[in-house]
Amino acid sequence: MANKRSKSLMPIDTGEWLDSPRINNLSYEIRGMWLTMLCYLWESPTRGIMAYPNGKAYTREQILRTLDIDPIALEILIENGLLAVDDKGAYYSPEMVRKERISAIRRNAGRKGGEITMRKIEQQTELPETPAPVIVEPPPENKQEPPQPQLFDNEDVPQAPPELTPVQKAKAEKNKKYQYADYVSMTQEEYAKLCEKYGEDETKGMIDLLSNYIGSKGCYSKYKSHYRAILSWVADAYYERQQRYGTRPPTITTTPKSAGGTPATTGYATGALQAPAGAGPQSGDAQEEGYAERF
């Protein structure tokens, strides 16, 4: 059973959701998965931590199974800074943990102010004829920090990591991946290498070919590197299709059957190359499947 505070409504920063690049770069599928995970983080007994009602943290496998998501989607959330993992393997939202810490400080300050006001009211009730003096509570000599929210098993909230050095920032930026199609992502350096090797128009065509293949087969997690996939088989498949069909796919039309014969098939669309003998519209798909199977 979740704690009482989980009954409150979960706030959503619409400005962050609509304008933040780290969210806008995500696909709609990953955005929906992240919104569902935010609900789990909000309902957690320790707000901001992916944990069961008994306080035990979710493992990576349990998160993937519970949310029914691809492992790559989880890594994308971590790369964008929306999700983090502490040294105990617990997954948490740095932003939600930070806001919960601020709320705890404010609650503690409000409680102290309420206690002072209550003492004033009690003194006025006991001595109605004498005006109650204004009580100013001196600041404590050793001011203690308000209690911070705990993860679980009395573990402290992870402190903010140290700022990256210029070398580390440059390395992180170099390894950052961007979406070049619905299902294809790579670094800027990888994309530049492909453009240098094949040309920008050909590179875009290869990216579209790989994205359509992944989307139709549902094999997003199959490729650790879309850049390597293009080098290994997509480029060959792209040029083979270009050689077979030209710049446009073939268009096949049929005429009514002649008496006692089979339907007659016209040629390919104007401007497209003629396909070799025995090749049909589906032969290109079969070849693409063959490339994928080999690599």
Per DSSP, the residues of 64-125 read HHHHT--HHHHHHHHHTTS-EE-TTS-EE-HHHHHHHHHHHHHHHHHHHHHHHHHHHHHHHH
| 207's tokens | 């990216």
Q: Reply yes or no on whether the pLDDT at 279 is more than 50.
A: no
Residue whose structure tokens are 């997690």: 221
pLDDT digits over 81-125, tens only?
Answer: 889 998 888 899 888 888 888 887 887 777 767 777 776 766 666
Between 19-33, 141-155, 167-181, the lowest mean confidence (pLDDT) is in 141-155
Q: Name the band, by pLDDT with cuts 50, 70 and 90, for residue 155.
A: low
Of 125 and 286, the one with more pLDDT = 125
pLDDT score for 124: 64
Of 10 and 271, the one with more pLDDT = 10
% residues pLDDT > 70 (the chain): 64
Total H helices, total E strands in the chain: 12, 4
Asked whether the beta carbons of 229 and 295 are under 8 A apart, the reply is yes
Average pLDDT over residues 257-283: 37
Q: Name the band, by pLDDT with cuts 50, 70 and 90, for residue 280.
A: very low
Q: Reply yes or no on whether the pLDDT at 287 is more than 70.
A: no
**Phi, psi dihedrals of residue 105, rounded to the nearest 5°:** -65, -45
Of 5 and 184, the one with more pLDDT = 184
Q: Reply yes or no on whether the pLDDT at 273 is more than 80.
A: no
- Calculate helix-pair angle for 28-43, 60-67, nearest 10 degrees: 110
